[in-house]
Every structure is written in structure tokens, then in C-alpha cells.
Amino acid sequence: MKIALFTDTFTPQVNGVAKTLQRLVQYFERHQIQHEVFVPESVKKEPLFNGNIHRFASLPFFLYPECRLAFPNLITINQQLHAFSPDLIHIATPFNMGLCGLRYARKNAVPFVASYHTHFDYYLDYYKLGFVMPWIWRYQLWFHEDAKKIFVPSRETRNHLQRKGFEHLELWPRGVDCDRFTPDKNTGSFRERFKITKKNILLYVGRVAPEKDVDVLSQMIDQMNPLLKSDTQWVVVGEGPMLDEMKKRHPNDILFTGYLDGDSLAEAYATADLFVFPSSSETFGNVVLESLASGTPAIVAKAGGVQEIVQHNVTGRICEVKNVRSFSETTEQLLLSPATRQLMGTRARTYARSQSWDGIFSNLVAHYEEATYRKTKQKLA
């Protein structure tokens, strides 16, 4: 089976979609699944793959600079695809690169599948652009109408799309690398590197942006019990449009590390006492699963895919959406109960170990085979 993958976000861009697709391509390589990948170019070059990544000129997307708006060369793409002759096209995003894959699939009768990663309607509301959503939903339905399967990361996302009229929806959850994200990374090096001397560490990892509800974090800090606050270090890992505002608002309360990756990120998760993630717009929430794998309980919102990862009072706590009091009381209660945190962390690690990437990608490839089954029968006939 030969797979052509089209996406508008890919490594070295830093977001959950890019990292998931990077792992998928690495799975293809390990299992010798023939593939070609079509992505935007990036300022930063990373020679992670064997050369079948085709990059095209791009600019940062104004709403989300970590993603790129590509300007693909259709002639080049057609030549490369004709030479490759894919059995299936996987379209991961509905923007310029995705449109190229869609055009080729429809014009050449190649079956395609799609994956849905982002609640655009939630995001646009935060940027006061909700009025364009009726047109975007019409476009999304047109874009996906011929897809053999549409992969979604959570039951919540599947239900959301079903209400909008989407069909052929299949669950494609996310996994976690439990060798990289492990409690064993709590060696003291993270505290030493960032000169953290306070007893407790509360961690947030993600884009520092309105759609992540980071204002809830700011209000939690403002309202925190003074005695507990003096003994607690807040850590924010990531960047985004609200970073400067948060730095000005909390110059002494928060340690801002910028982007972290690899062992540095794993050490941050493992060293933290709690992972606080108020975002209510997640289709899945990779960072939550990484925290659980590190043995760190997560406090999340009762919305989106994150509520399907965290089991309330078992591996963490689930709070009311955007409810600062709910998040604050829950966080302070757990900070004052080390035994409860330890038990939750042990259970969190156990759960994360059941979410292997290889099992998840193996299931995805089985869906690929189903999507190409009819075409394969026609070839054999």
C-alpha cells in the first residue's frame, strides 16, 4: 500500500497535529509502508526523514503563526504523485496543501481519507470571527464529502461533527511515548536548570493564546491563597499571542520557559506536582496524556477531548469550564494532599502505558486498508 500524506502543519512546527503526523511518518518508515509527504516549508530545517518529504513555499498563518500557509506548485505535485501512483491519499488539513491532495484524488479517482484535528468554530469565537463559521462549515462539508473515512481524535469531536452532518467518522485517538515521558525524568535537573526553590510546581504546557483559556490561569494566580502561593512556582511552557501580556501581568509569579522539547519537556512534566490545563477547545489534548505518562495528575476542563483522557478523582480532576473558583479550589486541595497526588500519579502512569502509538497506528493502517479495499478488488478483477 502506497500512502500520500498532505498537511499544512508538520515538524519542526510545534503543535499536537505536527507531532502526531511526525510520529505517523516515522511509523511508516519503521514498517516499510511506502509514502510521500507534502507539507509547507519551514524556516527551521530538521533532517529527520529519508527524503520523501516535499516542502513548498509558505508564510505564517496570521491566526496561528506556528502553522504555515503554503503556496504549492501543482505541476510539481502532479508529477510527483503520478510517479508515485498512491493507493490512498490522507489529507490532514483543509487548507492549501490539503486542497492539492483533494484535487488530485478527485481528478484521478484515488480514494482519500481525512483527519479532523481542530475545532475551528471554537477558535474563531475567541478571535471575534465567529460570524464566518456558517461559510466555513459549508466549505468543510464540501471538502470532506467524498472521504472514505474521516478520522477524529475523541468521541466528543465525533459527536460534534455528526451534529454538523459529517459521515464516515472513525475514532483515531492519540498515543504517548512512555519511555520518554516517565516519572524517572524527575531527577532534579529541571529545578536546577531554572533555579526553582519553591516546594510546589504547577505546570501548564501549550500555546499561550485565548483559545487555551490561559486567562483562567492568570485569575487563579491572582486569587491563590497567599501562604500557598508563596510556596508554589507556576511554570508556563510554550509561546503565543498572549505571552507578553502574561509576562507583564505576572512578572514574579510565573516562570516562562518558552518552547521545550525532548528530555527538557519530559523533565518539566515529571518534576511538576500538578498539570493545570484549563483549555475547553481541545479535540484531544496530547499534553494531558504526556503529563499522565509522567506520573503527574492533570486538572482539566469538562469540555472537549481532555475529559476523555482524565478520569475524575482517579488520574486527576475535571473542573467546570472557565470556572476559576472550581480550578482554584481543586488545585489547592490537591497541593495540600501529597498522598492523593501520589496515588493519582501512579494510576495516571498505568493508564498512559495502555495508550501505545504502535497500537494506534496499526489500527489506522487497518482503516487505510478498508478504505482501499474496493479499489484493490477492481484492480484484481
Q: Please report, for the domain that includes residue 10, its CATH number.
A: 3.40.50.2000
Same domain membership, residue 241 and residue 142 = no
Same domain membership, residue 209 and residue 151 = no
Same domain membership, residue 187 and residue 325 = yes
Domain count, the chain: 2
Give alpha helix (H) positions in 56-95.
74-84
What grid cell was written down for 10? 508538520
Give whole-number Cα distances, 171 to 87, 161, 284, 363, in Å: 22, 12, 11, 10
Domain of residue 321, residue span: 183-352
pLDDT, position 11: 85
Residues 344 and 338: their CA atoms lie apart, in Å, by: 10
Same domain membership, residue 365 and residue 326 = no
Same domain membership, residue 100 and residue 20 = yes
Phi/psi of residue 242, nearest 5 degrees: -100, 5
Same domain membership, residue 157 and residue 8 = yes
What grid cell was written down for 29? 518508515
Give me the amino acid identity at 293: A
pLDDT, position 381: 45
Same domain membership, residue 132 and residue 274 = no
Same domain membership, residue 367 and residue 286 = no
- Local structure of 72: helix, strand or coil: coil
Largest CA distance in the chain: 76
Residues 262 and 257: their CA atoms lie apart, in Å, by: 14
In this structure, the strands spanning 58-61 and 64-70 are antiparallel
What grid cell was written down for 335? 497541593
Same domain membership, residue 329 and residue 189 = yes
Same domain membership, residue 373 and residue 278 = no
Same domain membership, residue 313 and residue 269 = yes
Q: What is the pTM of this model?
A: 0.90
**How would you write the pLDDT of the chain (381 residues) with one tens digit per residue?**
999 999 998 888 878 899 999 999 999 999 999 999 999 887 566 556 656 899 888 887 666 655 677 888 999 999 999 999 999 999 999 989 999 999 999 999 999 999 999 887 777 776 777 788 889 899 999 999 999 999 999 999 999 999 999 999 999 999 999 999 999 999 999 999 999 999 999 999 999 999 999 999 999 999 999 999 999 999 999 999 999 999 999 999 999 999 999 999 999 999 999 999 999 999 999 999 999 999 999 999 999 999 999 999 999 999 999 999 999 999 999 999 999 999 999 999 999 999 999 999 999 999 999 999 865 545 544
Same domain membership, residue 108 and residue 193 = no
DSSP count for the chain of H helices, then E strands? 16, 15
Give alpha helix (H) positions in the chain.
16-30, 74-84, 96-108, 120-126, 133-144, 155-163, 189-194, 214-223, 226-230, 243-249, 262-271, 286-293, 324-335, 338-352, 357-371, 373-380
